[in-house]
Amino acid sequence: MEISTIGLDLAKNVFQVHGIDADGNVVVRRTLRRAQLLPFFASLPPCPVGMEACGTAHHWARELIKPGHDIRQMPAAYVKPYVKRGKTDAADAEAICEAVTRPTMRFVPVKSPEQQAALSMHRARDLLVKQRTQLVNMVRALLAEFGINIPQGIRLALEMARKIIDGEAPPVPREAAKIAGRLSQQALDTHAQLREIDLDLLAWQRTNDTARRLMSIPGIGPIGATALAASVTDASQFRSGREFAAWLGLTPRQHSSGGKERLGRISKMGDKYLRTLLVVGMTSLIKGVKRKPE
């Protein structure tokens, strides 16, 4: 059995393998349990292995590189057109096996454990920011029902939360004051956790050469620099800055036909988190330039 290419459909506990030979004939189609996956690939000679760049993909890619396999990760959206019919693990593995052999296919570099650790801090930070916003908005709405208005801005909202915790709450019924106190305490605790993550990211940024260089770009701070350094494994895969912008989804969506070019709004095809950080950074930079044109 000579396997030239393998398509691997990842899951939590059940994995589907689809292998073909040099002539395109199917030579293996198996379902493997989690404990069987690494021994199976260790018994095979090194060959190209395709998989979707999804959850746990980078971990399994690093593990399968150790026996010498050539791991090629692809965006799931690029694999979907090769699914012939229906949604099954076997059909997905077959589609992955076919897609990985295409000469124009684009692949996702394998991330290191350090990069994934940095991204985990960003994902947790993003979640905590949303939770803090929800809590602050809840306190705003609760106090607004009693005619108390909190000025805009997270800083002023947290100051009000500290006053409520310190017993300086506005005159509201006892039950409402109790709920406002609980929400305020949770908002302050979430804010404290955010500060700790920001300090950890700043420490990581100081130890990463790529993040330090990115900090020299106007509009990019420690959060944006660490996110870009952790997300982009190999920047040389982009031929130009415009190609990188297209990867982020910042270039116009094209709908051209018949020799006529039609450009719409930005495609938003890339990483939403990175795109948000860049847009916020550039917006803050523009505001600063308006205040100090020199």
Average pLDDT value for residue range 101-111: 93
pLDDT of 140: 93
Residue 294 above 90 pLDDT? no
Q: How far apart are CA 216 and CA 230, in angstroms?
A: 17
pLDDT of 1: 63
Helix (H, G, I), strand (E, B) or coil at 6: strand
Provide the β-strand partners of residue 30: 17
Report in angstroms the alpha-carbon separations of 197 from 6, 121, 201, 222, 223. Answer: 40, 7, 6, 12, 10
From the CB of residue 133, how many other CB atoms can be counted at a distance below 10 Å? 14
pLDDT of 86: 85
pTM: 0.85
pLDDT of 92: 95
- 148 DSSP assignment: -
Residue 30 above 90 pLDDT? yes
- Residue 139 — very low, low, confident or very high, per pLDDT cuts 50/70/90? very high
Q: Which H or E element spans position 182?
A: helix 174-207
Percent of residues, the chain, with pLDDT higher than 70:
100
Q: How far apart are CA 238 and CA 172, in angstroms?
A: 58
The strand ranges marked E within the chain are: 5-9, 14-20, 26-33, 48-52, 70-74, 252-254, 263-266
